[in-house]
Amino acid sequence: MTTVKVKGMSCQHCVMAVTKALKEIEGLQDIAVDLEKGEAAFKETKPVDKNLIKDKIKKAGYEVVTE
């Protein structure tokens, strides 16, 4: 599982928006977005460009936090 920190989520609608954005990316499965932790976790069935993941989440209105 890969986990990314997502900034800007405040409610269940936010969780749904991030989940939907990630489901649009081919190669991701078992997507789990956790509002409490501010994280999105997923399994990659094939290599996925991290910038694509960031862009999709950003277009949904949220920000990926990189440590």
Q: Sketch out the chain's domains with CATH numbers.
A: 2-65 (3.30.70.100)
The pLDDT value given to residue 15? 98
pLDDT at 66: 76
pLDDT recorded at residue 67: 61
Yes or no: say if 41 and 3 are a contact pair by the CB < 8 Å rule: yes
pLDDT at 43: 97
Q: What is the CA radius of gyration of the chain?
A: 11
Q: What is the pTM of this model?
A: 0.93
Residues of the chain with pLDDT under 50: none
